[in-house]
Amino acid sequence: MAIQTATTGNLEKASNVLIGEARFTAEYNSPCINLVERHQLGKGENTYRFIKFGQAEMSAVADGEDIIESQEFGMTYVDCEPTIVGAKFIISDKAMRELKPAMMAVAGRMLGDGMGRKRDEDIIALFVSLDNAFGATTKYLGIQNAQACVSNCRDLKIPNPIYVVAHPNALGYLAQSAMAIGATYYAGLLDETTRKILNNFWRGVVINNVPFFDDGNIPNISGYNEAYGAIFSKYAMGVVESLSPRTETDRDASASLTELVITSDYIAVEIDGGYGASLRYMSAALATNN
């Protein structure tokens, strides 16, 4: 067990600490938690049920005739139960007396960033299991493929709002594609999208009302310079929380230690895999010497 003492690393160089409550800090590059359904369990609840209904089918009826066919709700559901995740730092009293407040802020920020990254990665792990799959090995997320992904989602009747989350380098190739083709060819199709890609390359790209986000937490596929992003409805996946991220300190007087702890009780779950598609595209680093 790692215990931070007064001589751990450079901690002995810090002084005059006053420990305040650490704030949860979400990483700047963690869009997924804000793009899916979010639900909070109440006191005494341990399971959340996502319910989906089918569609009502209309039929033509002659004047004066009764409607014969009766509709069914076609209800399906997904049950999910949150689990606890967390991390902590253990700091000796002597180190606490000699730490600067900025150092404790660093510890709190590290815990907050770690929690944000964990929650983001749990949603990313669901991408590959979505019912539909776009892209392919050695293919790039060029402007034509990006437009095709959006059009296919419309054809599949995936409900709005729809989002794309992809590896930063995959969106880099999208920007290069837009530059190579030129705005004049695609001006009628994309309106000002090309300009948005160039000016907002890192996030916020919009194609046919579908925003594109990059996410640095998306890993490369093992052994490949490729990565799985996703295009999905907000209703394809969700996060259920029993406890939102919470940071606390716990004093252990007998051991002359203080723990700084962050915990959360949540689960990321696929609600309807038909409401999204994985996106497999190249994610190799872009050349910087062209």
198 located within any domain: yes
Closest to 216 measured CA to CA, from 124, 100, 138, 128: 124
pLDDT at 101: 60
- Asked if residue 283 has pLDDT above 80, the reply is yes
Residue-by-residue DSSP string for the chain: ---B-TTSTTGGG-------PPPP---TT--GGGTSEEEEPPTT---EEEEE---PPP----TTPPP-PPP----EEEEE--EEEEEEEEEEHHHHHH--HHHHHHHHHHHHHHHHHHHHHHHHTTGGGSSEEEE-TT----HHHHHHHHHHHHHTTPPSSEEEEE-HHHHHHHHHHHHHH-HHHHHHHHTTHHHHHHHTTTEEEEETTEEEEE-TTPPBPTTSSEEEEEEEETTSEEEEEEEEEEEEEEEETTTTEEEEEEEEEEEEEES-GGGEEEEEEE-PPPPS--
How confident is residue 13, by pLDDT bands cut at 50, 70 and 90?
Answer: very low
**Domain residues for 157?**
127-236+274-282
251 located within any domain: no
97 located within any domain: no
> Average pLDDT of 180-205?
45
54 located within any domain: no
115-172 pLDDT per residue, tens: 888 999 999 999 999 999 999 999 999 888 999 999 999 999 999 989 999 999 998 8
211-257 pLDDT per residue, tens: 888 888 999 998 899 999 999 999 999 998 888 887 777 878 888 88
Specify the higher pLDDT residue, 205 or 113. 113
40 located within any domain: no
pLDDT at 48: 80
99 located within any domain: no
289 located within any domain: no
Q: From CA 100, how far away is CA 116, in angstroms rounded? A: 25
pLDDT at 60: 78
76-99 pLDDT per residue, tens: 777 888 889 888 888 887 877 776
CB-based burial, 147-163: b 16+ in 10 Å, e otherwise: bebbeebeeeebeeebb
Closest to 140 measured CA to CA, from 170, 119, 114, 180: 170
**The total number of structural domains that make up the chain:** 1
Q: From CA 50, how far away is CA 23, in angstroms rounded? A: 31
Gyration radius of the chain over CA positions: 24
- Asked if residue 21 has pLDDT above 50, the reply is no
197 located within any domain: yes
- Asked if residue 10 has pLDDT above 70, the reply is no
- Asked if residue 195 has pLDDT above 90, the reply is no
pLDDT at 210: 87
